[in-house]
Structure 1
Amino acid sequence: MVCAIGGKDDDVPDHPFDEALELTPTEPGRATGRTRSAWANMVGPFGGLTAALLLRAAENQPDRIGEPVALTVNFTAPVADGDFDIVCNVVRTNRTNQHWLMELWQDGAIKTNATAVFGVRRDTWSDTELEPLTVPGPDGLTSTGLLDAIVWARNYETRFVEGAIPDSDAGPSPSSTTTLWARDRQGRGWDHASLAAISDIFYPRVFLRRGAFLPAGTISLTTYFHADADDLAALNGDFVLGRATANRFSRGFFDQSAQIWSRGGELLSTSHQLVYFKD
């Protein structure tokens, strides 16, 4: 059964992110939730928040084992404001990993579907081949946001190192790379759900390359979690460093690769997404 978030002090207001992740169980494997205005995007809710919701629904399953290691979300249709249902089904449970299928339903139709892999992490040989990013720290950078019309972005404090959202007169850029520091504006600590959300913080790369705001939206987003719960808790809500870059723009689609690092140079997650755009 999907469980609602519990253990809170009734005298302490919920954090907007935790409020948005609240799910009420209705029957085994099914729960209801409701969109929150604080996480609104141009059309429907912020995709990172939807990804976090689907992950949280699977995390709340009583027979779930291990921690998230991979999440793929397919945004099949816009999620409308209001109530929705999330259905979770375990596909297979192995000794060290478990596979889940999640679906977000509204008005009798699937609006988003996802798969998640959970794993039992073990002490093994470890190495990170990807070199940590060498960039200025967040403390000396100006705090900037995205567009005022992007409501969900107000939940984060962002400081761009490069590739800030272009001005109206910016013109095309030869690079699609954005590097930024980000953290929850109210200092909420990190967990896998919030890491899933922040992995989608980057605006569409086509904006930067074309120097213009074009209709664009994520179709599919896969996030790989390299940090466990203890690693994330140790961050204490500090800034994380993100970098995103596109690989190819072609015939109305492009793919984007991103990394999320801790201030100390630990690779927390990598993600890949497919985005459509109109030119």
Structure 2
Amino acid sequence: MPSHPFDAAIALEPTESRGMSRGRTSPDWANMVGPFGGITAAVLLRAVAVHPDRAGDPVALTVNYTAPVLDGTFDVHPRALRTNRTNQHWAVDLSQQGEVKTNATAVFGLRRDTWSDTEPSMPAAPAPEDIAPTGLPDAVVWAANYDMRYVDGGVPRPGDGPASSSTTTLWTRDRSGRALDFPALAAISDIFYPRVFLRRGAMSPAGTISLTTYFHVDDDELASAGNDFVLCRAHANRFSRGYFDQSAEIWSRSGNLLASTHQLVYYKA
């Protein structure tokens, strides 16, 4: 059994059904309803990463949260849809009792040495050592796995009132010192609380429907980030008729853009 709570939560075992593996939800990664969406994304990415037919590193992952995942076991079924010389397309389902709870598509690719550039600049922020540890309310169980230090846009407190901007910036890292890998980066892509909380100054029912993460580094570049803090920034573009979108970036302390993410969130307000 893996000793780290993250590795235990994404552990998968083969089943009698060809190509299918089985996992189990972890109480360490519980959310308000079901498990943290980031840990579910990490499970689906790992299911492809450990598949014997997988080629290359993750390039993109889109996860659609179709129904709440219940506590207990679940089955994961990755299927390679097409492979060519540079990239590979996958579909992945997570199901319980024969019902699909989450589905995903993933692209893995073989990266080549080419001309490269990063257009956005890393947000300016104080060093994480100069910011007091903060985080999310204790009721959000999964958040205890991270050391979070908000630069701006922290969780609204009673009396704060609505904010004029939906932007949140924070430093974060695994609290137990686990180094970053692609499943861990996929999980951090969903680390932001709903933007509607910040804009309205209060919590209300909300949940991610679809999350896409683009991975901008290969395995070696990601490994260089080690277990250090990463800087995360997120903002929404529009809130309308019960849905809002969120765009985010995740940067290494050294200034490498590790991933960018986009998601669609349902809310009541």
Shorter-normalised TM range: over 0.9
Gaps of 5+ in 1: 1-9
Matched, 1:144 2:167: no
Aligned to 1:3: none
Instruction: Give the CA deviation at 1:170.
Output: 1.0
Paired residue for 2:188, among 195, 198, 202? Answer: 198
* Match among 209, 234, 250 for residue 240 of structure 2: 250
2:69 maps to 1:98:
no
Question: What is the CA distance between 1:236 and its match in structure 2?
Answer: 1.6
For 1:241, which of 231, 237, 242 is the aligned residue? 231
Mapped partners of 2:167, 2:135: distance in 1: 17
Match of 2:47 in 1: 57
Partner of 1:228: 218
Q: 2:5 aligns with which of 8, 16, 30?
A: 16
The structure 2 residue matched to 1:127, chosen from 89, 112, 117, is 117
Map of 1:6 onto structure 2: none
Q: Deviations over 1:52-74 (max 9, x none)?
A: 00000011110100000000000
Aligned residue among 209, 212, 216 for 2:206: 216
Structure 1 Cα separation of the partners of residues 179 and 49 of structure 2 = 17
Q: Deviations over 1:221-265 (max 9, x none)?
A: 000000111111111200000000000000000000000000011
Match of 1:5 in 2: none
Find the counterpart in structure 1 of residue 149 from structure 2: 159
Q: Percent identity?
A: 65
User: How many residues were matched structurally?
Assistant: 268
Distance 2:144 2:107 in 1: 30
AA aligned opposite 2:163: S
Q: Does 1:66 align with 2:56?
A: yes
Find the aligned partners of 1:64 and 1:181 in 2 and give their Cα distance. Answer: 32
Give the counterpart of 1:43 among 33, 39, 43: 33
8 Å contact kept, 1:262–1:268: yes
Asked if 2 retains the 8 angstrom alpha-carbon contact of 1:23 and 1:33, the reply is: yes
Q: Could you tell me whether the CA contact under 8 Å between 1:103 and 1:114 is conserved in 2?
A: yes
- Asked whether the 8 Å contact 1:58–1:88 carries over to 2, the reply is yes
Match of 2:162 in 1: 172
Equivalent residue letter for 1:142: A
SS at match of 1:260: strand
Letter in 1 for 2:153: G
Which stretch shifts more, 130-139 or 94-103? 130-139
Q: Secondary structure at the match of 2:220?
A: helix
Q: CA-to-partner distance for each residue in 1:168-196, whole Å, 9 max, x for gaps?
A: 21100000000000000000000000000
Query: Do the aligned partners of 1:97 and 1:119 also contact (CA within 8 Å) in 2?
Result: yes
- How far the C-alpha of 1:28 sits from its partner, in A, is 2.9
State the alpha-carbon separation in 2 of the partners of residues 251 and 136 from structure 1: 37
Q: TM-score, normalised by structure 1?
A: 0.95
**How far, CA to CA, are the matches of 2:117 and 2:267 in structure 1?**
37
State the distance in 1 between where 2:52 and 2:18 align. Answer: 10
TM-score, structure 2 length as denominator?
0.98
What value does the CA root-mean-square deviation take over the aligned residues? Answer: 0.8
The one-letter code of the counterpart of 2:63 is V
